[in-house]
Amino acid sequence: MLQAAVGSVSLLLDGKPYVTVRCDDLSAGHNALSAEDFAPKRYPFYFPRRPIDSISGASFFFVRVMPDSSRRPIDGYALITCLVLCIIWGLQQVAIKAAGSDVSPMLQVSVRSGVAALLLLITAKFVLHEKWNPKLRWRDGFLLALGFAGEFFFVAEGLRFTSAAHMSVLLYTAPLFAAVGLAIKLPEERLSVIQWGGVLLAFLGIGAAFLLPALMSHSPAAEGSELWWWGDILGLCSGISWGFTIIVMRVTTVSEAAPTQMLFWQLAGGFVLLFPCALLTGQNHFEGTAIGWTSLLFQIFIVSFASYLVWCRLIKIYLAARLGILVFMTPIFGVILSVLLLGESVGLPFVAGSLVVFCGIMVVQRPHFFQRRRSS
């Protein structure tokens, strides 16, 4: 089991405090350290690579102490805030779909990103007075923007063919692809046997979500699109793109950036990349109807600016891993709101496949819970 850190600060590397941690059980130590209490930095000897010393079967590691190591567990305020955020994010696809005939989806996501990026820049510099990391590489920032732009490119394109309910579910397969990518990229992110089982379960669920509706004739085709399967594939691509964005945040200099700095790169890059796509693909239709303006203003001020800014604040105060689990309420609200506001129908086969997908993702994200259950 993981024992308490020896002393307080053992040494300084690059001006950052580190502590020495003793770990009698390597796997248990890795689980504890990689959750939320520590933020390892990529040094040749950082946990969980080769220990710096071994005494009586116990391994010792240098682990970086987070500047905000006193992050709070989830309380009532965080729970209610996350609930509101999940409703907003679940409503996002519904708004894009509802206003799609008045404002082209690609134009919606590009314009909202550009205006929100400008608002965020002003707020971060003149209201929050945040210091951004000047060492963030342009190449890494571009990769971050590319992942974000790709995510909403596929969302905008996919919503032309499939339902907002399907898109809400398929978009949130991102943690699955991020976990697999990180396991390949970083040795310390290797997946356990249980986690690989969760990956397999999730992919089986994805297959079921695609195949069962087609075989049993429960598809969004009844709503006017015979290419619903293509929209679902694009929805899955949006999840892959979001997963790519998570990997970029983890393995590049973006990991050292302030949350608002990360968000600005995504929003500004999203506008720069998506607006030309909207023009080149002819998705620049705009009618100043009430629903068109409502959707656009909702996405600019509520989704892309306010909700993302609140989320940046939450991840600085609370344990990130716990918040990540709460975010999985978003597709639930997305499906419910799609049914209530758009009158969409969600067939039982797709629901069954989606439940299998999220069970698999939960196994990948929280394997320790299932390990404890199995051993008890």
User: pLDDT tens across 26-76, in order?
Assistant: 444 443 343 333 333 333 333 333 344 443 444 444 444 444 445 677 788
DSSP single-letter state for residue 373: H
State how far the Cα of 158 lies from the Cα of 155, in Å rounded to an integer.
Answer: 5
> What pLDDT shows up at residue 229?
82
**Each residue's pLDDT tens digit, 344-376:** 887 777 788 888 888 888 787 766 555 555 444
- The residue with greater pLDDT, 214 or 313, is 313
The pLDDT of 219-235, averaged and rounded, is: 70
**Least confident stretch, 83-92, 127-136, 347-356:** 347-356
DSSP code string of 218-275: -SGGGGT-TTHHHHHHHHHHHHHHHHHHHHHHHHSGGGGS-HHHHHHHHHHHHHHHHH
Domain ranges of the chain: 6-64, 76-375
Q: What is the pLDDT of residue 294?
A: 95
Give me the mean pLDDT over the 127-134 stretch: 88
Asked if residue 274 has pLDDT above 90, the reply is yes
**Average pLDDT rounded to a whole number, residues 80-106:** 93
Q: How far apart are CA 325 and CA 341, in angstroms?
A: 26
Q: What pLDDT does residue 8 have?
A: 36
